[in-house]
A and B are shown apart, each in its own frame.
Chain A
Amino acid sequence: MTNHWIDIKNSDCILIMGSNAAENHPISFKYVTEAQQKGAKVINVDPRFTRTSSRADIYTALRSGTDIAFLGGMIKYIMDNKLYNKEYVANYTNATFIVGKSFKFKNGLFSGYDSKKRKYDKSKWAFAMDAKGVPKMDRTLKNSRCVLQLLKKHFSRYNTKLVSKITGTPREDLLKIYQTYAASGATGKAATIMYAMGWTQHTVGVQNIRTMAMIQLLLGNMGVAGGGVNALRGESNVQGSTDHCLLWHIWPGYLKTPRASNVSLDAYNKKWTPKSNDPLSANWWQNYAKYSVSLLKSFFGEKATKKNDFGYSWLPKVDDGKAYSWLDLFDEMYKGSIKGFFAWGQNPACSGANAGKTRKAMERLDWMVNVNLFDNETGSFWKGPGVNPSKVKTEVFMLPACTSVEKEGSITNSGRWMQWRYQGPKPLGNSLSDGDIIIALGEKIKSAYKNSGTFTQPIRNLKWDYLTNGEYDPHKVAKEINGYYLEGPKKGKLVESFGKLKADGSTSSANWLYCHSYTEKGNMSARRSKQDAPNNIGLYPGFAWCWPVNRRIIYNRASVDLKGQPWDKKDWVIKFAGDVKGGKYVSKKWVGDVPDGGWYPLENPDGSKREDAKHPFIMRKHGHAQIYGPGRADGPFPEHYEPLECPVEKNLMNKQRINPVAPIYKTKADAFATCDPKYPFVGTTYRVSEHWQTGLMTRPQPWLLELQPQVFVEMSEELAKLKGIKNGERVLATSARGSLKCTAIVTKRFKPFKIAGNTVHQVGFPWHYGWRWPESGEEESANLLTPSTGDPNTRIPETKAFMVNVKKI
């Protein structure tokens, strides 16, 4: 979230699309209903009428996988009716930038496409630069090659007639929603988006979110209270684990995983440190080397020296151009090239797309270690449905982990709030906390490498001093994450904030973003003050701690005008309160939230420009938010492409049916079917309030199983009639990859779509089930049906749109 949970209450219009907040983030509705009672409009767009829809002021349906068409129509509406916030767009976004001549878009392809490699040459999308190396800009927005004009042209095709044909959403509903949402373009108004996996889990996942981010920028909704782009995370600590490098392509704090071509620390830092020639651009990532060196110092301590590149060469590098995501790892495992696997706090036998492939892949392992609260479908895959245990060579070890309440540590929620949690009861039986398991494992590996081994330095030199009285100490780890002064007068003290980190090895920090979370003042995340900030918008700055530097709303420098005064006088986030003399600011002072950089505003009260100011989007190279995003794998503007499996022969928007750079896997287990009469219906997966994730913690819980006892498929009354299916009877769902027995819920909440004149039916399944529990073994994972393809940027799987059949058993 750029904003945070409580801030939802400040919104004037809440779009819930790509998420089902009432069911899957029930507490968020405390703030949604609060906003609604103050007059905010709640809009819900979902293929199926949900518990969220029941509370919305406006609900409409769209076919799964057509969000870019839907939102692209909104961009066109905003442009045609000039509803964008011109002052905001012209000053704070790259709408004014002039795009170079090599950028083109034709027949659904951007310039630079290599059809053999299924890849773009992104250099074709670059901005035109002036003599000083700063992007050329036209603040009047009139230049035909400026981003705003290109945007207008790009989305001119997204008229409501065509959008309606693609999405199946009635035109009058499109217009009503466009009109309601776009009203937030007025100065002082804010609209927010609550999205989740309904947007990310597509072959166009990143571009779904980009389309919305662009709308938020056009309407001036970034950085303001009640605005932002807000991802509702699916677990209490997904944000924290991502910050601390859960994903393969990043190091802690969103530093890059080194590529093989980054042959030295210097080469690595050079490659990933952006350069701006604009004196008004803070270009915060220019500090990259301070953070990467502090991280290496945190890994290797005194063993990391300037002479040995701070141990850079000891760390693994990934091959250039190769992906190592979940989909890729299980693809490799399936092909037999991965021999061992730690399944730690996860249940891939049920949670991953194409679960049948995942289960088969695990049979090809030599060993697997399953670290979890309970045995699950992953740990027991060797005795799962259709598996002959005598034919499986994999040796499986189970390490029982304790639950979250049995250990001390922190979680970071969707709103980036790091909250310290104390230990409740002690771990049961021989279960251990993850920290204790990792430390024990690390010690064992270290002792194995003590006297011999290949490439021993990374193991031997690892600085792991996190024990107190022989036990894992979460405070020591939290302090390490914050970082220490290693030299000078403050040697041994905790660093106050990341502004103090150095690239010379004199500081450590295991995650620069968290530098400020645990200082000499104490554990900031353990604070529990209930006092609000002076602006009274629910920031509660003394409750827990928020990255970066306790800033509760990021990009908040965009919530003020050029003179530093808030667009929204009532629900303001920050405002400049420095002294004025002769029409000029003469002292620096911001009040409210922690500002996104404490520089002077861009203009003085008398309208004169200041040389010592910075553009508000400080994390962007050029200081401007990106309506045009030349860094993405699939294009600088979003474009509608159909899901890899879809019910239409042709993409009505352009000549490419699917995302031209979507990853395609080619094992025997990767079957796909488009417009195949065997699989005529659109399928999607989702969650219910009553279960969590693969249900490992909820299926064995009788009170929750009582509420949602069986895997089901929801379908319209029309489809049920067509297939002769009765409400409540067991049916068989099939896809090109697998099958699933489930109970039919025949409901008015699904309606057939009219897609380009044809009737298209959609059905949906919850993915919380698995054969280990309930005891019947009959309630299986819906991921047996889903395809292993995904987004080309993130490789999140496309489990939200695929093709299935359903029939009576």
Chain B
Amino acid sequence: MSKSFFVDTTLCTACRACQVACKQWHDLPAEETKNRGTYENPADLSFDTYKLVRMREEVIGGKLKWLFFPEQCRHCVEAPCLDTAGDASAIYKDAATGAIIFTANTKGMNVDEIIESCPYNIPRKGPDGTLAKCDMCLDRVQNGLLPACVKTCPTGAMNFGERADIVALAKSRLFAVKKANPKAALLDTDDVNVIYLVAEKPSLYHKFAVASNAAFDITRQVALRRMFTPLTNIVSRLL
């Protein structure tokens, strides 16, 4: 059994404490930003930004909604990035938690293909070609602490625990939220360990809120391809 997050966007106030806590725990530098005519900043995830609260203004049924989506790696149950890399020293799944972990050995791999394989467009390339993303605060979790983003969340939007408990919590919240929001849904529950609850159409929150239909099919294609290409990566790294 793995660990999972439940991100209840119906409770998120976009205070962005999670975004800052993530940087603080991982000691990531701030990016130089400009106000782009929105509160959302930086503009995208990056090698130095693992967590980003997406903020979208949408008029739905004649009413203005400000939709918040704290974006992060989903720690997929069957992670396409892991399959694509095909090298456990670069990308592996932590057995106890289910966290998908990128290591320094991602440097020199075909990182664009790994990025491409992610149905949620999460991994980002550093200046030297190393990949980075959310690591579930594995060091904290292994020491009995909550991930930094969960620990800092004031409203209960961010939750973390055993997968079975988290799925149960997600379902009970969906049931409660659905009464007033018939469009409410849990996103890709079976495939991911970061389960989002949204009240509106997922694509309104973020382009990559849900995996495209084909995404997990690609996983299978990649797995197949990997059978034939174990040497390619090794060779490319030797070069």
* Number of A-B contacts defined by CB within 8 Å: 100
Is there contact, CB below 8 Å, between B13 and A26? yes
Complex Cα gap A690–B55 (Å): 15
**A654 → chain B closest CB, angstroms:** 34
Whether the pair A707, B37 counts as a contact (CB closer than 8 A) is no
Residue of A nearest to B14 (CB): A51
Known contacts being A26-B13, A703-B23, A708-B41, is A37 close to B176, with CB within 8 Å?
yes
Per the 8 Å Cβ criterion, residues 674-692 of A in contact with B are 688-690
- Is the Cβ of A748 less than 8 Å from the Cβ of B35? no
Rounded to whole angstroms, the CA-CA distance of A23 and B154 in the bound complex is 12
Chain A's closest residue to B49 (CB) is: A706
Chain B residues whose C-beta falls within 8 Å of the C-beta of A542 in the assembled complex: none
Interface residues on A, range: 35 or more
CB–CB B35/A745 < 8 A? yes
* In the complex, chain A residues whose CB is within 8 Å of the CB of B168: none
Spot the interface stretch: A27-35, A128-136, A156-164, A559-567. A27-35
Answer yes or no: B64 CB below 8 A from chain A CBs. Answer: yes
Identify which of B11, B65, B68 gathers the most chain A CB atoms within 10 Å of its CB.
Answer: B11
**A728–B35 contact, CB under 8 A?**
yes
With A49-B66, A703-B24, A749-B57: A744-B19 Cβ-Cβ less than 8 Å: no
CB-based contact A22/B13 at 8 Å = yes
- Interface hits, B29-43 → A, CB 8 Å: 29-39, 41-42
Nearest chain A CB to B69 CB, angstrom units: 12
Are B36 and A689 in contact, CB atoms less than 8 angstroms apart? Answer: no
A57 to chain B, nearest CB (A): 8
Contacting A23 at CB < 8 Å: which of B13, B29, B31, B57? B13
Are B16's CB and A690's CB within 8 A?
yes
> Is the C-beta of B15 less than 8 angstroms from some C-beta in chain A?
yes
| Contact A689:B15 (CB < 8 A) given known A27-B154, A29-B154, A49-B64 | yes
Minimum C-beta distance from B34 to chain A (A): 6
Q: How far is the CA of A729 from the CA of B37 in the complex (A)?
A: 8
- Option from B15, B19, B38, B41 in Cβ contact (under 8 Å) with A22: B15
| B176 / chain A contacts, CB cutoff of 8 Å | 37
**Interface: B161 (CB within 8 A):** no
Complex-state Cα separation, A690 to B156, whole angstroms:
19
A710-B35 in contact given A30-B155, A49-B64, A53-B66 (Cβ < 8 Å): yes
Q: Which residue of B lies closest to A28 (CB)?
A: B154
Cβ-defined contact, A689 with B16, below 8 A: yes
Residues of B within 8 Å of A688, CB to CB, are: 39
A728 touches B154 (CB 8 A): no
Does A747 interact with chain B (Cβ within 8 Å)?
Answer: yes
Please name all residues of chain B whose beta carbon is closer than 8 Å to the beta carbon of A52 when the two chains form the complex.
13
A705 interface hit (Cβ, 8 Å): yes
Q: Does B210 contact A (CB under 8 A)?
A: no
Chain A residues within an 8 Å CB radius of B32: 706, 709
CA distance A704 to B21 in the complex (A): 11
Asked whether B66 lies within 8 Å of A33 as measured between CB atoms, the reply is no
Q: Which residues does chain A contribute within 8 Å of B35, judged by CB atoms?
A: 708-710, 712, 728, 743, 745
How far is A746 from B37 in the complex, measured between Cα atoms in Å? 7
**B49 CB, nearest partner CB in chain A, Å:** 9
Interface residues on B, range: 20 to 34
Chain A 689-715 interface residues, beta-carbon cutoff 8 Å to B:
689-690, 702-710, 712
Chain B residues positioned under 8 Å from A702 (CB to CB): 29-30
Interface string of A20-49 (1 = CB under 8 A from B): 001100110110010001000000000001
B41 touches A709 (CB 8 A): yes
Task: Give Cα distance in the complex from A52 to B12, angstroms.
Answer: 10
| Whole-angstrom distance between the Cβ of A456 and the nearest chain B Cβ | 53
* Nearest chain A residue, comparing its CB with the CB of B59: A748
**Using Cβ atoms and an 8 Å threshold, which residues of chain A touch B39?**
688, 707-708, 745
Once the chains are docked, how many angstroms separate the CA of A95 from the CA of B155?
A: 40
B15 lies within 8 A of A706 (CB): no
Knowing A26-B13, A51-B66, the reply to whether A710 touches B23 (Cβ < 8 A) is: no
Specify which chain B residues have a CB less than 8 angstroms from the CB of A705 in the assembled complex: 30, 33
Asked if A706 contacts B30 (CB within 8 A), the reply is yes
Known: A26-B15, A54-B65. A706 touches B41 (CB 8 A): yes
Which of chain A's residues have a CB closer than 8 A to the CB of B42? 706
**Which residue of A has the minimal Cβ distance to B152?**
A26
Cα distance A37–B175 in the bound complex, in angstroms: 12
A704 contacts which chain B residues (CB < 8 A)? Answer: 20
By the criterion CB–CB under 8 Å, are B57 and A51 in contact? no
The answer to whether B13 and A54 touch across the interface, beta carbons within 8 angstroms, is yes
Q: Is the CB of B68 within 8 A of A33?
A: no
- Residue numbers in A under 8 Å from B20 (CB-CB): 703-704, 707
Q: Is B77 an interface residue (CB 8 A)?
A: no
For the complex, what is the distance from the CA of A29 to the CA of B16, rounded to whole Å? 14
A706 and B17 contact, CB distance less than 8 A: no
Most buried by A among B23, B38, B155, B156: B155
A249 close to chain B: CB less than 8 A: no
Q: Are A748 and B57 in contact (CB under 8 A)?
A: yes
Q: Are B34 and A23 in contact (CB under 8 A)?
A: no
In whole angstroms, how far apart are the Cα atoms of A53 and B13 in the complex?
10
Cross-chain contact B38 with A745 (CB below 8 angstroms): yes
- Of A689, A703, A749, which contacts B66 at CB under 8 A? A749
Which A residues touch B34, using CB under 8 A? 709-710, 728, 743
A460 interface residue (CB < 8 Å to B): no
- A364: interface (CB < 8 Å): no
Q: Which residues of B contact A690 (CB under 8 A)?
A: 16
Cross-interface CB contact of A29 among B29, B64, B155, cutoff 8 Å: B155
Query: Closest Cβ of chain A: how far from B74's Cβ, in Å?
Result: 23
Identity of the chain A residue whose Cβ is nearest the Cβ of B66 in the assembled complex = A54
* In the bound complex, CA of A788 to CA of B23 (Å): 40
- Is A727's CB within 8 Å of the partner chain B? yes
Q: Output the nearest chain A residue to B20 by Cβ-Cβ distance.
A: A703
Q: In whole angstroms, what is the CA distance A414 to B24 when docked?
A: 28
Chain B: which residue is nearest A22 at the CB level? Answer: B13
The minimal Cβ–Cβ distance linking B82 to chain A, given in whole angstroms, is 30
Partner of A728, one of B31, B36, B68: B36
**How near does chain A come to B13, taking the closest CB pair, in angstroms?**
4
Q: Which residues of the partner chain B approach A610 to less than 8 Å between Cβ atoms?
A: none
- A622 CB to closest chain B CB (Å) equals 42
Q: List 6 A-B contacts (CB under 8 A).
A: A22-B15, A29-B154, A33-B11, A706-B31, A709-B41, A728-B38
| Residues of A in contact with B (beta carbons under 8 Å apart) | 22-23, 26-27, 29-30, 33, 37, 49, 51-55, 688-690, 702-710, 712, 726-729, 743-749
Besides A708-B41, A728-B34, 16 other CB < 8 A contacts? A26-B155, A33-B156, A37-B176, A51-B14, A52-B13, A53-B66, A54-B13, A54-B14, A688-B39, A706-B42, A707-B20, A710-B35, A728-B36, A728-B37, A728-B38, A749-B66
